[in-house]
Amino acid sequence: MNSLLLDRPLDAIAFEATFADAPFGMGCVDACARWLHANTALRAMFGVDTLPSLRALAGPQQAAALDDLLDGRRARLRLEPELGAHRPVLDLSPLREADGRVVGFIVHGEDRAAQTHATSERDAFFALTPDLLAFVDARDRLLEVNPAWEATLGWSPRDLEGHRLDEFVHEDDRERVLAQFAEVRNGTVVDASFRGRLRSRYGGYRWIEWQVREFDVARLYCTARDVTDQVRARDSLLRNRDELERRIAQRTHELDRALARLQLHADNSPLATIEWDRQLNVAQWSHRAREMFGWHEDEIVGHAPSVLPMLHPDDVAGVDAAMARLASRETSRHVHTVRMVARDGRVRVCEWFDSALFDANGRVSSILSLVQDVTEREAAVAALQRAHEDLEAKVAERTLELERLMAMLESQARQDPLTDLPNRRGLMERLPRSLDRSTRHDGAIAVMFVDLDRFKHVNDTLGHDAGDELLRECARRLVSAVRKTDIVARLGGDEFVIVLENVRDPETHARRVAEKVREALAEPVDVGTAKVRVSASIGVVIQADGTITAEDLISRADRRMYAAKHAGGNAVRTDDGAI
């Protein structure tokens, strides 16, 4: 078999392999329309191993057209046989000899059902994807957009289709965005990815991330998504980063100046020199060493590290070990930090640069130690570490302070500052939840609108401080008149709302609470300069079936309260009259 393959032209072998394994349907018939070859994909379209004849596929409707093709009276033929679930389309093109004589036909098959299914899947994806999809023509007009545009920007397909894209692009982004489209259109780039702002129907602009590629010669295919939240988060991070970098740069500048001063000091200060002999006793103590530490030569020279007065006791072992390594040629250089004690008792942190000196025979003749006082540098490093730790602590403290402030502001937005009761916003957040809970537990809810009678008279005659104290005391009495699970809120001025949640006998319960409120408010109130008596007009609305919204409950209770006030005050009114 292998020898037979080698005897055939390589291009023929490659063609047959490509023909057989092609993912699309291909076949070949002779000049009489008899099948010569059909690849696997073409047979799969018909669902059979042996294909029907072309005449059977043409049927009576296309028999004449097939004869015209076989007789050379037409150049091409498209057969569309109906075979139940299999609906392939066959295109026939003639195969000609060099003299033009037709010797057969190439058949190309397409599966209409697969095409229809693919089109349906594409349409479903186009309609359901949350990404913004669009086709754009050569004039930058939106030809077709999916529903996600309306969900994201508020513009319906009717609002957008037929309009130029630049009508919706932010003027600062317009030139750049259209240039990206042009680069894809003229082939400069194959797939463009960029961001730009698009106008929202609801006002303002949204940041959109685009992916644009060529769909066909006339259209560009675009996918986009809203990245406004990402851009805003990034901008916030950049602002925070810029502030942190500024603070770090400022601190770094201060530290650089300190280090520069230290470096200048080091550059202008000769190092102290200590020379050790082979027995590791001090052989030389330089003049600069005496100036730095105050010890005279006769107090240092000839002594081993263990008895040297200028070495800190805790560092003697380290110096001994370093000298031993150099003397044994384990290393030729060594750098270490040693604490040295000056004659006046001051401890100096020094950096030692040790080097072994060799004689002509390669033996260690002596060891030279160059000593630099780095006390200030070490102090600066320690100060830098402390400053860094202080900065981190301050940043953490500031962050905690901001979090506490945000929590306080959030609480204040829902709380009346005078009475510490929920304000209107706090009430309108809690009341719907109370309605839901009462409905779930088959209970009723009663809303009482309480307005203090003649409060303005107290304010006008005794002053605002007295009025504020009266409001605070009335708030405390209202809270004490209801259950802990009930809500007492101040809407503003002298208006309060009480919500009795999940009550089984709402009329009786509301009557009892209203009487407790009237009794509580009837007691004189000490406002500092005088004792005043107040009463209240109370409107009550009962919700038992979950059909009234929170806003309507407040509004109805308000109207009942005004009915009580118009009747002379110090009264309670419901939808059915006085309790």
Q: Is the pLDDT of residue 5 over 60?
A: no
**Taken in order 465, 467, 472, 476, is the CA torsion positive or negative?**
positive
Quick one: pLDDT band at residue 117, thresholds 50, 70, 90?
Answer: low
Note whether 241 and 249 are within 8 A (CB). Answer: no
Q: Is the pLDDT of residue 82 over 80?
A: no
Q: Verify that 181 and 109 share a domain, yes or no.
A: no
Q: What is the pLDDT of residues 331-349, one digit of tens each?
A: 889 899 999 999 999 999 9
Mean pLDDT of 176-192: 90
**What pLDDT was estimated at residue 217?**
75
CA atoms within 13 A on the CB side of 329: 7
User: In this structure, is residue 401 part of a structural domain?
Assistant: no
CA 199 – CA 184 distance, rounded (Å): 23
Q: What is the pLDDT of residues 85-113, one digit of tens each?
A: 556 778 888 888 888 788 888 888 776 65
Mean pLDDT of 469-491: 94
**What pLDDT was estimated at residue 121?**
65
Domain that residue 29 falls in: 24-115
CA 157 – CA 159 distance, rounded (Å): 5
Q: Is the pLDDT of residue 270 over 70?
A: no
Lowest mean pLDDT among 130-134, 248-252, 572-576: 572-576
Q: Is the pLDDT of residue 67 over 60?
A: yes
Percent of the chain with pLDDT over 90: 36
Mean pLDDT of 246-264: 75
**What pLDDT was estimated at residue 361?**
83
Q: Verify that 88 and 199 share a domain, yes or no.
A: no
Quick one: pLDDT band at residue 517, thresholds 50, 70, 90?
Answer: very high
CATH number for position 553: 3.30.70.270
In single-letter form, the type of residue at position 400 comes to L
Mean pLDDT of 432-449: 88
Q: Verify that 144 and 217 share a domain, yes or no.
A: yes
Q: CB-based contacts of 1: which residues, under 8 Å, 6+ apart?
A: none
Domain boundary among 373, 405, 437: 373
User: In this structure, is residue 387 part of a structural domain?
Assistant: no
Note whether 310 and 371 are within 8 A (CB). Answer: no
Q: Verify that 135 and 111 share a domain, yes or no.
A: no
Quick one: pLDDT band at residue 266, thresholds 50, 70, 90?
Answer: very low
Q: Verify that 111 and 59 share a domain, yes or no.
A: yes
CA 213 – CA 208 distance, rounded (Å): 16
Q: Verify that 452 and 542 share a domain, yes or no.
A: yes
Mean pLDDT of 359-375: 88
Q: Verify that 432 and 549 share a domain, yes or no.
A: yes
Q: Verify that 534 and 438 share a domain, yes or no.
A: yes
Quick one: pLDDT band at residue 75, thresholds 50, 70, 90?
Answer: low
Does residue 121 or residue 267 have the better pLDDT? 121
CA atoms within 13 A on the CB side of 438: 29
DSSP characters over 387-413: HHHHHHHHHHHHHHHHHHHHHHHHHHT
Q: Is the pLDDT of residue 119 over 70?
A: no
Domain boundary among 115, 150, 184: 115
User: In this structure, is residue 331 part of a structural domain?
Assistant: yes
Q: Verify that 51 and 84 share a domain, yes or no.
A: yes
Q: Verify that 448 and 361 share a domain, yes or no.
A: no
Domain boundary among 311, 343, 373: 373
Note whether 5 and 17 are within 8 A (CB). Answer: no
Q: Is the pLDDT of residue 136 over 60?
A: yes
Q: Is the pLDDT of residue 464 over 50?
A: yes
Q: Is the pLDDT of residue 263 over 60?
A: no
User: In this structure, is residue 408 part of a structural domain?
Assistant: no
Quick one: pLDDT band at residue 243, thresholds 50, 70, 90?
Answer: confident
User: In this structure, is residue 410 part of a structural domain?
Assistant: no
CA 23 – CA 25 distance, rounded (Å): 7
Does residue 260 or residue 175 have the better pLDDT? 175
Quick one: pLDDT band at residue 2, thresholds 50, 70, 90?
Answer: very low
Q: Verify that 89 and 137 share a domain, yes or no.
A: no
CA 489 – CA 418 distance, rounded (Å): 12
Lowest mean pLDDT among 401-410, 419-428, 465-474: 401-410
User: In this structure, is residue 216 part of a structural domain?
Assistant: yes
Q: What is the total count of domains within the chain?
A: 4
**What pLDDT was estimated at residue 114?**
59
CA 270 – CA 142 distance, rounded (Å): 79
CATH number for position 144: 3.30.450.20
Token pair recorded at residue 275: 């020379």
Q: Is the pLDDT of residue 350 over 50?
A: yes
Q: Is the pLDDT of residue 80 over 50?
A: yes
Q: Is the pLDDT of residue 267 over 50?
A: no
Quick one: pLDDT band at residue 579, thresholds 50, 70, 90?
Answer: low
Q: Verify that 548 and 503 share a domain, yes or no.
A: yes
Q: What is the pLDDT of residues 285-305, one digit of tens each?
A: 998 999 989 999 999 999 998
Q: Is the pLDDT of residue 234 over 80?
A: yes
User: In this structure, is residue 57 part of a structural domain?
Assistant: yes
Angle at 280 (CA atoms; ends 275, 285), nearest 5 degrees: 30
Q: Is the pLDDT of residue 11 over 80?
A: no
Q: Is the pLDDT of residue 494 over 90?
A: yes
**What pLDDT was estimated at residue 563?**
93
Mean pLDDT of 301-323: 90
- Note every long-range contact of 507-510, with CB atoms under 8 Å and residues 24 or more positions apart, other chains counting: 507/542, 507/579, 509/446, 510/446, 510/448, 510/540, 510/542, 510/574, 510/579
List the beta bridge partners of residue 79. 90
Percent of the chain with pLDDT over 70: 90
User: In this structure, is residue 446 part of a structural domain?
Assistant: yes
Q: Is the pLDDT of residue 360 over 70?
A: yes
Average pLDDT over the chain, rounded to an integer: 85
Q: Is the pLDDT of residue 516 over 50?
A: yes
User: What residue has token string 């001051």?
Assistant: 346
**What pLDDT was estimated at residue 86?**
57
